Amino acid sequence: EATPDRFDGIVEALREAGINVIQAGSRRYGESLTLVLSGHVVDTDLSDTLSRIHETTQATVTDLSLSAPEGTEDESSARLRLATEENERRATLAAVREIADEKGLRVIEPLAGGDQ
């Protein structure tokens, strides 16, 4: 987290270093949650799943770990860490459940009150 002045300084320093900053904003993520998707995660287009989570929630995927011990054609699991805006945890979980249901995936959710 950075103060607005520090944030502007970081963006400016990146631009001066020749890095093209496409988007920078002040969206605040005050909560995080970790969950697991299980099933044909790769076969049902993991990229689409992540894009839909990003497009339909006030959350962003901050970490992803994929396990496909029998290869990508068989069942796999993905551990997702999501940063959500404050008070958006329930809505985020509901959206993830809906996306997973459409794709025939199982969602292993965090315990109530737990972030990990």
pLDDT at residue 112, as a whole number: 52
What is the mean predicted confidence (pLDDT) over 39-64? 90
pLDDT at residue 19, as a whole number: 76
Provide CB contacts within 8 A for 72, sequence distance 6+: 42, 43
The closest alpha carbon to 50, from 63, 31, 69, belongs to: 63
Q: Domain limits of the chain?
A: 28-108
Among the ranges given (18-22, 51-55, 86-90), the one the predictor scored with the smallest mean pLDDT: 18-22
* pTM over 0.75, yes/no: no
The closest alpha carbon to 97, from 64, 49, 58, 65, belongs to: 49
What is the mean predicted confidence (pLDDT) over 24-52? 84
Q: Identify the architecture of domain 28-108 in CATH.
A: 2-Layer Sandwich (3.30)
pLDDT at residue 102, as a whole number: 97
